[in-house]
Amino acid sequence: MKNRIATYFVLLFCVFFAGSALAEDRKGPEIGKKAPDFTLVDASGKKHTLSEYEGKYVILEWLNHDCPFVVKHYATGNMQMLQEKYRDMGVKWFSIISSAPGKQGYLEPDEAKKVTRDKKAKPTAVLLDPDGKAGRAYDARVTPHMYIIDPDGMLRYMGAIDDRPTANHADVEGARNFVSEALDLLLAGQSVEVTSHQPYGCTVKY
């Protein structure tokens, strides 16, 4: 009898853990809900806390300059164009590097500064997330993985930058860019049509 009760408890325990493991898989931010807050240091050593940017639209871009899918958007000037365009409209743009030290895409602060300059990138800041905490909180899986956060801190878009999941530079032109589409609608006071789209790119090198 005692044995049976013990077995029940063990089973219950297993069910509990199986359940929480599943829940774990589905963790991550949700559209229309509060975006996870974070504090990260940028390439110049300055601290940025997401919640301090309430009142502004914020774009998060997961970044790895050695990833061919990222290269597609920087070599063609597409990413820089978007950064410049929306920053001019008052949007904050953070490029976040979640590569662990020693992994592809990881940059020391000075290197990050230099690469940003060399690529003529125009983000508000390049944020360094070497322990991957912010990346995991957003369930950022690939580079580039894009997120739009509204002035109330709510997540309005997450996923792919556009509808051409390739590394081919020629595919930038004519692609349907979900980020600019969503942001243009939001800035015009309208609701977003595509609020999420399966992201594409290289895996984030946590």
Partner 1 sequence: MHKLQFFKMIAPGTDNRTLHPPTVTSGGETRPGFWLPVALAALMLLTASMLRTGENRVDVVFIPGVPGTAEALKDNDSVFWLGVDMQIKEGWHIYWRNPGDSGLPTSIRWDPHPSLKPGEIQWPRPARFDENGITTYGYSGRVTLLVPVSVTRDELLPDSGTSGSHGEAQPNGLHVDGDGTETNLSADLNWLVCKDICLPESARITLDVTASGHFTGFSENGVRQIKHSLDMVPEQSAEWQGYAVLDDGHFHITLTPASDHAAIPDLQHVYFYPDRQGLIEHTAPQKAVRDGNKLTIAVPVSRYLRTVPEELSGVLSAGESWIHGKDAPAIEMVLPVSTLSERE
Residues that bind partner 1 (CB under 8 A): 22, 25-26, 28, 30, 66-69, 103-104, 139, 141-142, 159, 165-168, 194-206
Provide the 10 A C-beta neighbour count for residue 169. Answer: 14
Q: Whose Cβ is closer to partner 1: residue 95's or residue 196's?
A: 196
Convert 4-18 to b/e letters by CB count within 10 Å (16 or more is b): eeeeeeeeeeeeeee
- Cα angle 163, 82, 131 (rounded to 5 degrees) comes to 80
Q: Whose Cβ is closer to partner 1: residue 2's or residue 26's?
A: 26
Q: Closest approach of Cβ 170 to partner 1, in Å?
A: 11
Please answer whether residues 70 and 144 qualify as being in contact, where contact means their C-beta atoms are separated by less than 8 angstroms. Answer: yes
Q: Closest approach of Cβ 72 to partner 1, in Å?
A: 9
Q: What is the DSSP string of 145-161?
A: -EEEE-TTSBEEEEE-S
Q: Closest approach of Cβ 19 to partner 1, in Å?
A: 12
Please answer whether residues 142 and 199 qualify as being in contact, where contact means their C-beta atoms are separated by less than 8 angstroms. Answer: yes
Please answer whether residues 159 and 60 qualify as being in contact, where contact means their C-beta atoms are separated by less than 8 angstroms. Answer: no
Q: Closest approach of Cβ 97 to partner 1, in Å?
A: 15
Q: Whose Cβ is closer to partner 1: residue 42's or residue 159's?
A: 159
Give the residue ranges of DSSP H helices in 26-108: 68-75, 78-88
Q: Whose Cβ is closer to partner 1: residue 25's or residue 88's?
A: 25
Cα pseudo-dihedral 181, 148, 86, 188, rounded to 10: 50
Q: Closest approach of Cβ 75 to partner 1, in Å?
A: 12
Q: Whose Cβ is closer to partner 1: residue 4's or residue 26's?
A: 26
Q: Closest approach of Cβ 44 to partner 1, in Å?
A: 28
Q: Whose Cβ is closer to partner 1: residue 45's or residue 101's?
A: 101
